[in-house]
C-alpha cells in the first residue's frame, strides 16, 4: 500500500469504472451556476487559501471569499476578493449577497446554526445558499469520526499527498440530510433542493483491494433505497422574500384556529 505501483493500479481501475462520470464538485459548480446571475454578489464561505472556486466565477459575479487562513491568494484589487474572518461572525452588512456557497466546511463547524444564521443575515431576500458537505453516514466519515485527529491528519496527508496543515478536525454536527435541513430551517432558510451524491473511492486510492471494495460500496449505495448512505450532501436553500415572510407572519396560528373553534387537520 501507499506505493507508486498501487496508486497507478488504482488510477487504471478509476478509468475502468468511472472515466467520464461527474462527481460532487461538478454537481456543486452546476448548482452555483444555476443560482447566480451576472453582476450579482457571491460569498464563498470557507474559500481556502487559493480561492479556487472564487476564481472560477469571478468573471460572472462580484465574488468575495472568507476563510480563517492567514494568507489568501488574492491581491484584493479585483474579484475575487478575500477576507480573513470567522463564519460565525461575518464582517458584512445584512442583505448584501445574492448567493452564499460553501464546500467541505459544514463538517468542521462547532456551531453550524450560528453560521447558517449568519448566512441568512447577509443574504438578500430571495438569495440562496449552496452547500456541499460529506454525509456523516458515509464510511469515510464514520472512520474519520472514530479515528484520533492526529492519526486522521497523517493518513489524509499521506493519501492525498498534501500538507498536514490542510487537514482539519471533523465534527459532523449538521451532516445528515435531517440534521442539515433542521439547522438551515432554524435559521429561516427554505429548502429548494437536497440530494445525496456518490463519489469514486478517492480515500482508497492507495490500495487496489480497498479501491475495489469502495467501488462495490458505491454501486450498492447508488440504489435509491440506500440514498442516505451516499458520500456527500448537496443542498440549495433560499431566504424568504419580504412578501413571503409577511404572509407567514399574518397567517393565523394553529392556536388561533383552535381558539376560534375551527377544526384543524
40 closest CA partner among 62, 66, 64: 62
pLDDT-above-90 percentage for the chain: 75
**Do residues 193 and 235 touch, judged by C-beta distance below 8 A?**
yes
In a 10 Å sphere around its CB, with 0-12 CB exposed, 13-18 middle and 19+ buried, how is residue 71 labelled?
exposed
Lowest mean pLDDT among 104-118, 151-165, 215-229: 151-165
The pLDDT value recorded for residue 148 is: 80
Q: What are phi and psi of 242, to 5 degrees?
A: -60, -35
pLDDT at 68 over 80: yes
**Do residues 67 and 49 touch, judged by C-beta distance below 8 A?**
yes
pLDDT-above-70 percentage for the chain: 86
Q: Report if residue 262 sits inside a domain.
A: no
Q: Report if residue 80 sits inside a domain.
A: yes
**Backbone CA torsion sign across 57, 63, 68, 71:** positive
- pLDDT band at 265; cut points 50, 70, 90: very low
The pLDDT value recorded for residue 238 is: 98
Q: What are phi and psi of 131, to 5 degrees?
A: -125, 135
Q: Report if residue 251 sits inside a domain.
A: no
Q: Which residue has the cell 492507495?
A: 206
CB atoms closer than 10 angstroms to residue 11: 12
The pLDDT value recorded for residue 153 is: 72
Q: Which helix (H) or strand (E) holds 189?
A: strand 189-197
The pLDDT value recorded for residue 115 is: 98
CB atoms closer than 10 angstroms to residue 117: 18
- pLDDT band at 241; cut points 50, 70, 90: confident
Look over the chain and give the mean of its residue pLDDT values, rounded to a whole number.
89
pLDDT tens figures, 176-229: 999 999 999 999 999 999 999 999 999 999 999 999 999 999 999 999 999 999
213: its cell numbers: 471494495
The pLDDT value recorded for residue 257 is: 41
d(CA 145, CA 219): 23
- pLDDT band at 256; cut points 50, 70, 90: very low
Please spell the DSSP secondary structure of 162-186, one letter per residue: --GGG------TT-SHHHHHHHHHH
**Do residues 54 and 65 touch, judged by C-beta distance below 8 A?**
yes
Average pLDDT over residues 101-113: 97
pLDDT at 98 over 70: yes
Q: What are the helix (H) ranges across 36-78?
A: 52-57
- Residue 143 belongs to domain with CATH number: 3.40.50.150
Q: Report if residue 255 sits inside a domain.
A: no
Structure pTM? Answer: 0.86
Q: Report if residue 64 sits inside a domain.
A: yes
152: its cell numbers: 486522521
CB atoms closer than 10 angstroms to residue 183: 22
Average pLDDT over residues 163-180: 86
Q: Report if residue 155 sits inside a domain.
A: yes
Decide which of 226 and 245 is more confident. 226
What residue numbers bound the domain in which 54 lies? 4-242
Number of domains in the chain: 1
pLDDT tens figures, 11-46: 999 999 999 999 999 999 999 999 999 999 999 999
Amino acid at each position: 500500500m501507499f506505493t507508486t505501483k498501487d496508486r497507478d493500479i488504482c488510477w487504471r481501475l478509476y478509468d475502468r469504472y468511472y472515466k467520464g462520470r461527474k462527481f460532487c464538485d461538478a454537481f456543486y459548480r452546476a448548482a452555483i451556476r444555476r443560482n447566480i446571475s451576472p453582476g450579482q454578489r457571491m460569498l464563498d464561505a470557507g474559500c481556502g487559501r487559493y480561492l479556487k472556486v472564487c476564481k472560477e466565477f469571478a468573471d460572472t459575479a462580484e465574488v468575495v471569499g472568507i476563510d480563517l487562513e492567514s494568507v489568501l491568494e488574492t491581491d484584493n484589487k479585483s474579484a475575487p476578493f478575500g477576507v480573513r474572518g470567522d463564519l460565525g461572525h461575518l464582517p458584512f452588512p445584512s442583505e448584501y449577497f445574492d448567493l452564499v456557497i460553501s464546500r467541505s466546511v459544514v463538517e468542521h463547524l462547532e456551531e453550524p446554526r450560528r453560521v447558517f444564521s449568519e448566512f441568512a443575515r447577509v443574504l438578500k431576500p430571495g438569495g440562496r445558499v449552496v452547500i456541499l458537505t460529506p454525509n456523516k453516514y458515509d464510511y469515510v466519515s464514520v472512520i474519520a469520526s472514530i479515528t484520533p485527529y492526529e492519526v486522521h491528519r497523517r493518513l489524509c496527508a499521506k493519501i492525498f499527498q498534501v500538507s498536514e496543515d490542510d487537514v482539519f478536525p471533523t465534527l459532523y454536527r449538521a451532516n445528515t440530510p435531517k440534521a442539515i435541513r433542521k439547522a438551515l430551517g432554524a435559521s429561516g432558510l427554505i429548502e429548494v433542493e437536497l440530494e445525496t451524491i456518490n463519489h469514486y473511492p478517492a480515500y482508497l486510492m492507495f490500495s487496489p483491494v480497498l479501491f475495489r471494495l469502495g467501488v462495490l460500496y458505491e454501486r450498492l449505495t447508488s440504489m435509491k433505497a440506500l440514498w442516505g448512505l451516499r458520500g456527500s450532501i448537496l443542498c440549495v436553500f433560499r431566504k424568504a422574500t419580504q412578501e413571503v415572510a409577511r404572509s407567514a407572519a399574518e397567517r393565523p396560528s394553529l392556536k388561533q384556529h383552535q381558539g376560534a373553534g375551527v377544526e384543524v387537520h
